[in-house]
Amino acid sequence: MHVCALAIDLHLPECRSLKAKRAVVKPIVEGLRRRFGVAVAEVDHHDQWQRAAIGVASVASSTAHVGDVLDEVERFVWSRPDIQVLSMTRSWLDGA
């Protein structure tokens, strides 16, 4: 079993309210979940209008498959013109 978590830190320059932030973050979270079958959630900066942190986790039988899925997740996030990616950090977890 191979598990990797991806931490994504975002700047949302166009957001002027929490409602506007939700309108940007929700399609990203739902799109990642639906398109790639990963576990995903907004994990930090809940009260800040122009910041968001998203956590993504993928589990597979091979490291290559997990890496491929997270590569696609990264491309999906980077393709969004309405956000700025501040950082993306992968953390591999020991599996049994």
CB 24 within 8 A of CB 85: no
pLDDT in tens, 26-52: 999 999 999 999 999 999 888 899 999
Domains and CATH numbers, the chain: 2-45+53-93 (3.30.70.1120)
34 contact partners, CB below 8 Å, separation of at least 6? none
Q: Quote the pLDDT of residue 61.
A: 87
Concatenating the DSSP letter of every residue in the chain gives -EEEEEEEEEE-TT--SHHHHHHHHHHHHHHHHHHH--EEEEEE-TT-TTEEEEEEEEEESSHHHHHHHHHHHHHHHHT-TT-EEEEEEEEEE---
Residue 71 in tokens:
């590569």
Of 27, 81, 84, 88, nearest to 56 (Cα)? 88
pLDDT value at 96 more than 80: no
Q: Quote the pLDDT of residue 22.
A: 92
Q: Quote the pLDDT of residue 1.
A: 84
pLDDT in tens, 44-95: 888 899 999 999 999 988 889 999 999 999 999 999 998 999 999 999 987 5
Angle between helices 63-78 and 18-36 (to 10 degrees): 140
